[in-house]
Structure 1
Amino acid sequence: MLTVLVPGGTGQLGRDLAALAGPEIEVVAPGSAELDVTSAGSVVAAVSALAERARETGRRPLVVNAAAYTAVDAAETEERRAFAVNADGPRVLAAACSSRRVPLIHMSTDYVFAGDADRPYEADDAIAPRSAYGRTKAAGEDAVLGSGASAWIVRTAWVYGTTGSNFVKTMTRLAAERDQVSVVDDQRGSPTWSADLAAGLLELGRSIVEKGGPSRRILHCTGGGETTWYWLARAVFEELGADPDRVRPCTTEEFPRLAPRPAYSVLSGAAWAEAGLTPLRPWREALRAYFAANR
């Protein structure tokens, strides 16, 4: 029996966590307008209310922090603002969780790595972020792990869902608007459906409150397998019944962005599996299920 507070709850992950709520899981998912993680007073009040509600209902409290500044390019010129949400916010949240003895799952990203590996990144590999977004998320990890809270970091990547903007939704729109679309074919990662990620996080949450959680404090959770943005775009077109040959490959150099993108950001799920947690299904299977659920 869980009561889960999800800061950043109106995003794609938060909405999927709320959708999984049932008799055994209660999810409270406020958006940033309702709960600003950079406001210490608001955070302390929210975590205190969570702990009290859990006590009154006989449930176990848990916080899943999905609040984040995710505008990767804008962060290059707004790093202070990104730092406030991605590092200062988690620091405040972790301190509140520590004082009320509420366990915390904090979401992080593949961008904390350099992106130049030739094999999947393990959870304990050295981080070396190359973008402002990555630096602020790395600082958030440090803040959480150094807080004294009972906390776990879960890194994920290439997340898509029904809410907000994401690559899969963009390709769906472009398939209806353009005859041809160019997509980079030299960046590799693991597409992750937010609904699958949400289910994995709740499994982790139950492990934490029932068994004390994994001994390793950093875990990776992404869809199974790997691909490039180009091949993901082709798969989207296939699911839409559109000709995938309308998607043309290009290089990162041909599609310059303000923030550097990781060329290789596949995350190893070894630590997740070693913790006895269920690996997420292969990315292609998940994409098919996403479209079946959203037609």
Structure 2
Amino acid sequence: MTRSSLAPSRYVSEGKSTPGHRTVGTQGNPDDRAGEEIEYASQRALKDTWISRTRIFLAPYFAEFLGTGVFVLIGCGSNLTYTVFTTNAQSAWLGTAFGWGIGLMVGVFIAGGISGAMLNPSVALSFAGYRGLPWIHVPFYWLAEFAGAFVGALLAYACFAHSLDPFDGYHRQISGPFGSAGAFGNFARPFIGNGAAFLSESVGTALLVMGIFAITDTNNFPARSSTPIAIGFLLTGLSLAIAYPTGGSFNPARDLGPRCAAAIWYGARVFTFHGSYTWVPVAGPMAGGIVGATLYEALIVSRRAIVEDDESIASSEHRSISLE
């Protein structure tokens, strides 16, 4: 039963009024009270339909889908903006880092109160392992995140299709001076091997998950209402600091979803380019996320745990003194 369905009975018991309803109190007309009860019963019956129950059941997955879609739309849009409209690599890298950070912030604001805003399969896996996310949700979260990333990339391409035409002469290219496929799926720099790229993606995702665990840890120093902003700046900082060798996916859905969308226009070569690079931004973040979550949970002892431990020690000492 939802909170909204409980509201009428609470107000009836307290004799308060709700918008659009007459006040019902202990002194009211019995006929009026009967009419109010019938009206509330009809509203509850309307809400207790299979459509309503289905919406409630699917709400976390829709939230993950929408949050990830907005995140990828803003991120891929910032990539395309600097790919098409600038030749200054330094300003482009700074701009796209902030674009992805702001995209993640908005996505967390959208989905945070409904699904927890994982928006990343490696984060969902880590939260299932250490933060109580039910394992049954994990595969559905992954599916929603990949689907959201795919749709977000499609929308980004639709917004920039006519801008790409004069840029590459209507010939979509993966690499080279007129290559734009990297605005969707990540590709390591030509001088970076897949092994080094895997390490970079793993380390970056480990830091991302470790930072998210710290930001959301109520027993540590949580960001609380500023959580989306803090997580957005975390991704921006990691992008500026260590993402340059690979483009900084740190998220399997953020890479694979847009890569599948890019294959529609750039061809299947987006999966085999750079030594079949596709597996790196999928496997690297999954491994790094587990490592980052494990390190945080194993090495960080919260202040509450320390205080509780001190209190338990003091209590045991007091009992031993009393026995003596």
Greater helix fraction, Structure 1 or Structure 2 = 2
What TM-score comes out, normalization by structure 2 length?
A: 0.23
What TM-score comes out, normalization by structure 1 length?
A: 0.24
Larger-gyration structure (1/2): 2
